Structure 1
């Protein structure tokens, strides 16, 4: 399975870039899945719903299904967060998995950067970042794309993974 990451500091444009890339790449006929790393506690379930009640009762996994979608919730309880590779193994095969976050993992990535945030670039110290998508021109030792040039960024990623 081909994987490519989008990383950057908070409010750098990662999620917007991910959304545009999924639309662009899927629109070209490729199947795309995404993985999003959250640095905080999150819940896709709602208190009072049957599935939430199952989890609270102690179920390790709850699979919620309808004719439109299914969601598998797995409670880690006292176990450590699984590594990215273990999570990728749970996905159905697709042409490309785009990963938001997991900036310390070894897969190839593009960094989203907005100058107004004042954060330093991650790329100069990270060889896994193969390009930067920025709202301002930059002089780097790797390609720099306009943050809004989704087509060119998609071309680059697809070329990088051989699609």
Structure 2
């Protein structure tokens, strides 16, 4: 499976870049899935709904399905957080999986960077970051793209993964 990441510090523009890349790359006829790492607890379920009641009752997995989509919720119940590789193995085959976060994993990545956040770049210390998408010009030892030049960033990623 072809995997490419988007990393960066908080408010660097990762999610916006991911959204634009999915639109751009699927618009070119490729199938894309995404994986998003959350550093906090999250819930796709709501108290009082049947699926939430099933989980609270102790179900290990709850699969919620309709004619438009399904969602599988798996309660870890004390298990370690699954690795990115374990999560990727659960996905149906697609042309490309874009991963937001998982900056410490070994897959190739582009770093989103906004100068206004005041954060230092991750790239100088991380050889898995193959390019930077920034709102400010800079000179580095790898390509730097305008953060909003989605088409060029998509060209770079697709070339990197051989699509």
Give the alignment's TM-score, normalised by structure 1. Answer: 1.00
* 2:92 corresponds to: 92
* 2:102 corresponds to: 102
Q: Tell me the CA shift for residue 143 of structure 1.
A: 0.2
Instruction: State the distance in 2 between where 1:9 and 1:43 align.
Output: 23
Report the number of matched residues: 163
Instruction: State the distance in 2 between where 1:13 and 1:87 align.
Output: 24
Q: C-alpha root-mean-square deviation of aligned residues, in Å?
A: 0.3
Q: Which runs of 5+ in 1 are unaligned?
A: none
* 2:42 alignment partner, SS class: coil
Instruction: State the distance in 1 between where 2:89 and 2:5 align.
Output: 16
Q: Tell me the CA shift for residue 10 of structure 1.
A: 0.2
Q: Tell me the CA shift for residue 123 of structure 1.
A: 0.2
Query: Runs (4+) of structure 1 moved beyond 4 Å?
Result: none
* 1:140 corresponds to: 140
Instruction: State the distance in 2 between where 1:114 and 1:75 align.
Output: 35
Instruction: State the distance in 2 between where 1:63 and 1:11 align.
Output: 32
Instruction: State the distance in 1 between where 2:124 and 2:78 align.
Output: 37
Instruction: State the distance in 1 between where 2:142 and 2:23 align.
Output: 25
* 1:131 alignment partner, SS class: strand
Q: Tell me the CA shift for residue 21 of structure 1.
A: 0.0
Q: Which runs of 5+ in 2 are unaligned?
A: none
Pairing of 1:8-157 with structure 2 (within 5 A):
8-157=8-157
Residue-by-residue CA offset, 1:79-138 (whole Å, 9 max, x unaligned): 010100000000000000000000000000000000011000000000000000000001
* 1:45 alignment partner, SS class: coil
Instruction: State the distance in 1 between where 2:4 and 2:44 align.
Output: 25
Residue-by-residue CA offset, 1:48-84 (whole Å, 9 max, x unaligned): 0000000000000000000000000000011010100
Instruction: State the distance in 2 between where 1:60 and 1:139 align.
Output: 50
* 2:91 alignment partner, SS class: coil
Q: Tell me the CA shift for residue 4 of structure 1.
A: 0.2
Give the alignment's TM-score, normalised by structure 2. Answer: 1.00
Instruction: State the distance in 2 between where 1:13 and 1:69 align.
Output: 28
